[in-house]
Structure 1
Amino acid sequence: MSGENAVAGQGQPTGSARSQENRRQRIAEYVVGHGTVTVSRLAETMGVSVMTVHRDLEALARRGVLRRFRGGVSALPTSVFESNLDYRLGVHVAEKEAVAREAAELVEPGMSVMLDDSTSVLALAALLRERTPLTVLTNARRVLEVFAGREEIRLIALGGEYSHTHDSFLGVPCVEAIEAMSVDLVLVSTSAMNGHMTFHQEQDVVLVKRAMLASGARTALLMDHSKVARTALHRLCPVADFDHVVVDDGVDGDLVAELGEHTDVRVAEVNG
């Protein structure tokens, strides 16, 4: 996999690739904040050439993050690109890797674990290959690829209707498959969280995640700092419903303390 879409265990991005992704993330955030921006303005703001901006915008448009027009670019609705897997794979990579390392400590050989289709959990999946034997259940195609062919892993696919946006399986068949299972630990992420509630912008995803959480003896939520102190359209569940919440050290200390009033909070050091 190229550095552009690298996640832990699937090809580490080089320094230049990481810098490129950071710039593209800044461009996306700048355009979302301003609505419509010219290419020349972006080049000046980012301190790079117009040609570099054109390449960045082409990549972001392919991911469904932005809409290009002659001489400029405009933002798609936040809910559209935040659901896009290609976009999510390229942002806050270091934070997701740190959270994944901390969350991996919750998993012991012999356990049954259920993993959702988030990029934070995809980063975790590669680390779990060293904690075998395991029974792994997932609705995420790329998580299935991480474990496929490993004799020490009992791998169960949670099927349903395939979503190209998420590269995973959703819908009623997926929920029904999940409801038939009972596992030791469920590990998920979601798009937003404040001090007492978690959220997601898509109802179909909420239904799958709720079913997953109900199937676990213990549950863990993996969140990088970009997802906290914010909300989304649909409520998922209260923070108190999770046995563990793992965040990176970019989360404000006051919010960490507030979360700690409801559940076990673990803070991952990004550069530790």
Structure 2
Amino acid sequence: MANNEPDVKNDVPGLAQGLPPEARREQITGHVNKARSCRVEELAEIFAVSAMTIHRDLDVLAKEGRLQRIRGGARAITARLAERDVRLRRHLNSEIKGQLAATAAQLIERNSVIALDDSTTVGALGDYLEEREPSTVITHSLALMGAVSAMAHIDMVGLGGQYYAETDSFLGSIVVEQAERLMADAVFVSTTAIKDQALLHPDAEAARTKRALLKMGRRKILVVDSSKYESAGIYHVMDLSEIDDVVIDDQLDPKLMSQLRTLGPRIHIVNTSAKAHS
């Protein structure tokens, strides 16, 4: 699609009028996330473009995993929906994930060996690896393997096994066996759920793989947003009392934060203006 679209309406006032396509799509995403769902006609009026342009925008945004297409419009990606597709999870709470990653990156020591899991939260650490200069990165995330392979001064150990498209990573017994033969100065993981003072995950193979990664680390670091507290999970990954550091946003319920502190990990709080998580 051309960047200069001819169908911008000139009779609708407002800052949304006349935006280039990428800027408009960014604002459409934010509007739908805030409203939870919107119809095409509503978006066309707000952004002063034709319904056909909005249809094209929503098709692009849905393909990129930033929104879900529904009949006559679009709706926000929820955590439950996103858990089934890594493409969707990469856009869920992306601003908070970036803030968490920026703080977690400060825990990477120069010339250290680090291990990173396949979560999209930990995946955001990829943007900080070159400046933090670990000597080696161990990961089972295919996306991180691609990113680190382009970093000339960082060695990479890729954990291979059965590839799962829904997580864009390698999981299962082969990965676990490789992890059991490795050591890392620090391991960074996230998780789908925290309940009863434990990390939980809805998938057995993913839980087993995360557990193996954590066990290889001298320092175990959990990077998680507060929406994961009290969420549903079936398979036990590790007790919170075994975690050395927790990087979390400041929206966690004070009672839960107090409970977390009693378990003894070093807590690194990320200040954010977000008031809710999907």
TM-score under structure 2 length normalisation: 0.75
**Residues 78/107 of structure 1: CA separation in 2 closer, same or farther (3 Å cut):** closer
For residue 20 of structure 1, the aligned residue among 28, 49, 56 is: 28
Aligned residues: 247
Matched, 1:175 2:183: no
* Aligned-partner Cα distance in 2 for 1:74–1:269: 28
Matched, 1:82 2:90: no
Offset of residue 202 of structure 1: 1.0
Supply the RMSD in Å over aligned alpha carbons. Answer: 3.3
Offset of residue 128 of structure 1: 1.8
Structure 1 residues without counterparts, runs of 5 or longer: 1-13, 32-38
**Residues 242/117 of structure 1: CA separation in 2 closer, same or farther (3 Å cut):** same
Offset of residue 94 of structure 1: 1.4
**Residues 199/60 of structure 1: CA separation in 2 closer, same or farther (3 Å cut):** farther
* Aligned-partner Cα distance in 2 for 1:77–1:269: 23
Offset of residue 162 of structure 1: 1.1
- Conserved in 2, the CA contact under 8 Å of 1:111 and 1:135? yes
- Conserved in 2, the CA contact under 8 Å of 1:116 and 1:140? yes
Counterpart amino acid of 2:271?
E
**Residues 254/43 of structure 1: CA separation in 2 closer, same or farther (3 Å cut):** farther
Q: RCO (CA 8 Å, sep 6+): is it higher in 1 or 2? A: 1
Counterpart amino acid of 1:255?
L
Deviations 1:138-170 (A, max 9, x none): 011111122113231011101011111111111
Counterpart amino acid of 1:136?
V
Counterpart amino acid of 2:257?
V
Deviations 1:75-103 (A, max 9, x none): 99965531311111111111111111111
Counterpart amino acid of 2:183?
S
Q: For 1:181, what is the secondary structure of its paired residue? A: coil
**Residues 72/156 of structure 1: CA separation in 2 closer, same or farther (3 Å cut):** same
* Aligned-partner Cα distance in 1 for 2:199–2:268: 17
Structure 2 residues without counterparts, runs of 5 or longer: 1-21, 274-278
Aligned to 1:266: 268
- Conserved in 1, the CA contact under 8 Å of 2:32 and 2:76? no
Counterpart amino acid of 1:91?
L
Offset of residue 228 of structure 1: 2.2
Aligned to 2:18: none
**Residues 112/84 of structure 1: CA separation in 2 closer, same or farther (3 Å cut):** same
Matched, 1:243 2:244: yes
Offset of residue 24 of structure 1: 4.4
Offset of residue 261 of structure 1: 1.0
Aligned to 2:9: none
- Conserved in 1, the CA contact under 8 Å of 2:79 and 2:89? no
**Residues 176/64 of structure 1: CA separation in 2 closer, same or farther (3 Å cut):** farther
Counterpart amino acid of 1:268?
V
Counterpart amino acid of 1:266?
H
Offset of residue 23 of structure 1: 3.8
* Aligned-partner Cα distance in 2 for 1:237–1:24: 36
**Residues 241/170 of structure 1: CA separation in 2 closer, same or farther (3 Å cut):** same
* Aligned-partner Cα distance in 1 for 2:82–2:201: 13
Alignment of structure 1 residues 144-183 onto 2, 5 Å = 144-183=145-184
Moved more, 248-257 or 183-192: 248-257
Counterpart amino acid of 1:250?
Q
- Conserved in 1, the CA contact under 8 Å of 2:66 and 2:91? no
Q: Identity rate of aligned residues, in percent? A: 27
Moved more, 202-211 or 248-257: 248-257
Aligned to 1:36: none
Alignment of structure 1 residues 4-15 onto 2, 5 Å = none
* Aligned-partner Cα distance in 2 for 1:134–1:76: 37
Of structures 1 and 2, the larger Rg is shown by 2
Alignment of structure 1 residues 1-272 onto 2, 5 Å = 18-26=26-34, 30=36, 40=39, 51=51, 52=54, 56=58, 59-60=61-62, 63=65, 68=70, 79=80, 81-194=82-195, 196-262=197-263, 263-270=265-272
Counterpart amino acid of 1:180?
R
